[in-house]
Structure 1
Amino acid sequence: VIDNLKISCSAGVDDINSKFLKSTKEYSSIILSKLFNQSLNCGYLPDDWKVGKVVPIHKTGDQHSPSNYRPISLTSIPCKILEHVIFSHLVNFLESNNFFSPAQHGFRKSFSCETQLLTFTNDLHLILDRSSQADCIFLDFAKAFDKVSHSLLLHKLSKLSIDSATLSWIHAFLTNRSQFVFANDTSSPSASVTSRVPQGSVRGPLLFLTYVNDLPSCVSSSISLFADDCVIYREVTNKSDVSSLQCDLDRVSEWCDLWHMQLNTNKCKVIRVSRLQSDVSCYYLNHTPLQQVTTYKYLGVHISSNLSWETHIQYVTSNANRMLGFIKRNFSAAPLSLKLLLYKTLVRTKLEYASSIWDPGTDVLTSAVEAIQNRSARFILTNYHRTASVTSMKSSLNLPNLASRREVFRLCLFHKIYYHNHTLRDKLLAPPFYISQRLDHRHKMGVPSCNTTTFHNSFIPR
């Protein structure tokens, strides 16, 4: 664990930095092992391990407005090492006992934003493919990680059959915590922390997943979670389905009241996914009607009411174009190698985030994405001749077409699901209709029949 520490990792209030631990690991590892064992056996942590040094980092806008700063909490590095050890064992225990809801994709091995988006959009594609429609309610938790009650979290942890020593250590870890703000070489007075998942801690995400794990069991509709990013959705064929979805929304609200969480009503939105123009039913959260929209940016990807990726591709190409323009204005005289690196890290990444999910199925949208790379290749080589072959330029720069890269991304995601995520494999992939004993192999999968081009161009059938 010490070997994997980053040299740049800042120290907490105990002033023990990673550089010191790495340079003395033969001795510090022995000392820390004894200290860790004593901490676990006694269920006690040094006071410095429970203090957060909050450093505000300016994001953008008015520097006098606190809302324009991102708080970075620096905690003890030795405590982070012990957290990592406990975290690994606790995750293995919970995963082996199938504790986590299959609807939760956040901070879990073999789960990601892509698997979350894939599961959600595939369900919607199936609904549209049978000429039906779905209502989706996107929920926004207000400062979700900050609202977690320590006492209620400990109550939930006590129900998990965790050994008493580990539970006592977690109790000590969560109680009597404090933090202070450090800015301009000045420290503020300390303040006690009685709620929120500890910022800067290794186990913070795991504790949050534990806290919200029972949320999916409250609803009868489909639900997808990536940590606190939540959407509940349901196929709507009659008024009864609308009533059921409203009841589920009420249950989520009741769950929030029970566990001291809060939904930001103004940021919760409703989309009706349908191939037809139809009136969207009105849904209420705490007697407040939710806004109905035709597109919603979910986990960085724009979901539209007809499941077209045109809006999202317009967004990513516009975003990538702005970044390319910035590079052109500021690095026109840079060497070729630097221009190429800037394109790969600042432009291409914008064109490829979650692209295995939104990979366009039309030539027009595919060309719109590739055009950004074409312009980038001309800039990198400073060759703007109209007769010059962009294909040759990209070949000389070892830049394959983005469409071929997206195909590789889709195959990698499929491989990850098939071999490393049996939960998603059983949900998303169908067995073959027929297996030939002479020609086929045991890994053959069934290809779903498609009634619409939209579904045919989506991840699973493709």
Structure 2
Amino acid sequence: MKRGFPVVEFVPIDTTSNLLGSPPVISEQDTPINLVYETLALEYGDDGITPEFLKYAGIDDVVLSFINKAFSTEEISESWRALIIVPVPKSGDLRHPDNYRGVSLISLVLGLYNRMLLNRLRPALNPLLRNPQNGFRQRRSTVDQIVAIRRLLKGVTSNNLSCIMTFIDFKKAFDTIHRGKLMSILRAYGVPGKLATAIAATNLQTWAKVRTPDGDTDTFQILAGVLQGDTLAPFLFIVALGYASDASSREGKSN
């Protein structure tokens, strides 16, 4: 029997801040533009807009007008939906496609917009995420988990106890997130409709082509996943992971 979307009761986020649903303002652009320039100096999307252009052209007001239009109309430019996927080798036999990680090059204006959305979403949702989640969170590190495991194992061995550890390898994790369910999760956490819809608009109906040494492939539609290489994607992933963990924990307790 097909199962429905799991319902988990949360204390909703604080929606009293007007920032969550209000149009972006010029001051929200400053830090993201600097980050775009510093971290993506050689990478940009198919629209040809470069980091140098964003930083030095003096078009902050123009860029903000595009961003505000996207936020208010809940629609994004078609050029923002076009991605270039660059295959990055991992390990193993590089003749096998599974041994590559696809990094998406997106429009830098979309990257700027997503960074602004992230800066609004993260402070609101951080208190609701599971405390052990350290990856992709500010002022936290997965090194903390390694230290905790070492201390645990030291205590186990010194007391002559047994310990069972389970590790999960999420294969193609970013690529397999169900986009429709991700938007339902944001609403389940209490993310205001305007902000949730803005995030949905940047993640639905996207198209891509793969950049290869022999040239770009034909364009194809992407139906699932968050975008590797995008600033918002890692946080959306851990939000979905946290919801799934909470849902499974509650289901286990009820059985």
User: Of the two, which has the highest radius of gyration?
Assistant: 1
What is the aligned counterpart of 2:77 among 36, 46, 54?
A: 46
* Match runs of 1:3-22 below 5 Å: 3-4=34-35, 5-6=37-38, 8-22=41-55
| Mapping for residues 55-454 of structure 1, pairs under 5 Å | 55-58=86-89, 64-95=95-126, 98-184=127-213, 186-217=215-246, 218-219=248-249
**Structure 1: how far apart are the matches of 2:95 and 2:169?**
27
CA distance in 1 between counterparts of 2:94 and 2:163 reads 44
Do the aligned partners of residues 93 and 153 (structure 1) sit closer, same or farther apart at CA in structure 2, a change above 3 Å counting? same
Q: Is the 8 A contact 1:106 1:112 kept in 2?
A: yes
Give the Cα–Cα distance (whole angstroms) in 2 for the partners of residues 203 and 115 of structure 1: 23
TM-score under structure 2 normalisation?
0.77
Q: Which residue number corresponds to residue 362 of structure 1?
A: none
State percent identity of aligned pairs: 22
* Cα deviation, residue 78, structure 1: 0.7
Kept in 2: contact 1:3–1:22 (CA 8 A): yes
Residues 41 and 71 of structure 1: CA distance in aligned 2, closer, same or farther (over 3 Å): same
Structure 1 residues 216, 65: CA separation in 2 closer, same or farther (over 3 Å shift)?
closer
Counterparts of 1:135 and 1:69, CA distance in 2 = 32
Q: Contact conserved, 1:59 with 1:69, CA < 8 A, in 2? A: yes
Q: Match of 2:34, SS?
A: coil
Aligned to 1:23: 56
- What is the alpha-carbon distance in structure 2 between the residues aligned to residue 196 and residue 109 of structure 1? 23
Q: How far is the alpha carbon of 1:36 from its aligned partner?
A: 1.1
AA partner of residue 117 (structure 1):
I
Aligned to 2:10: none
CA offsets 1:381-407 (integer angstroms, 9 cap, x no match): xxxxxxxxxxxxxxxxxxxxxxxxxxx
By how many angstroms is 1:57 displaced?
A: 4.1
Q: Counterpart of 2:145 in 1: which secondary structure?
A: helix
What is the DSSP-based 3-state SS (H/G/I as helix, E as strand, rest coil) of the residue aligned with 1:111? coil
Structure 1 pair 120–68 and aligned structure 2 pair: CA distance change class (3 A): closer
CA RMSD of aligned residues (A): 2.3
Shift of 1:128: 3.3
1:21-41 C-alpha deviation (Å, 9 max, x unpaired): 2221x2x21111111112111
1:64 CA displacement: 4.6
Classify 1:214/1:67 alpha carbon distance in 2 versus 1 (closer, same or farther; 3 Å).
Answer: closer
Displacement, 1:206?
Answer: 0.6
Distance 1:216 1:23 in 2: 44
TM-score by length of 1: 0.44
- One-letter amino acid matched to 1:20: F
Instruction: Describe the superposition over 1:286-328 as per-residue Cα deviations: whole angstroms up to 9, x where unpaired.
Output: xxxxxxxxxxxxxxxxxxxxxxxxxxxxxxxxxxxxxxxxxxx
Residues 397-431 of structure 1: CA deviation (Å, up to 9, x unaligned): xxxxxxxxxxxxxxxxxxxxxxxxxxxxxxxxxxx
Q: Does the 8 Å CA contact 1:179/1:191 hold for their aligned counterparts?
A: yes
Kept in 1: contact 2:185–2:243 (CA 8 A): no
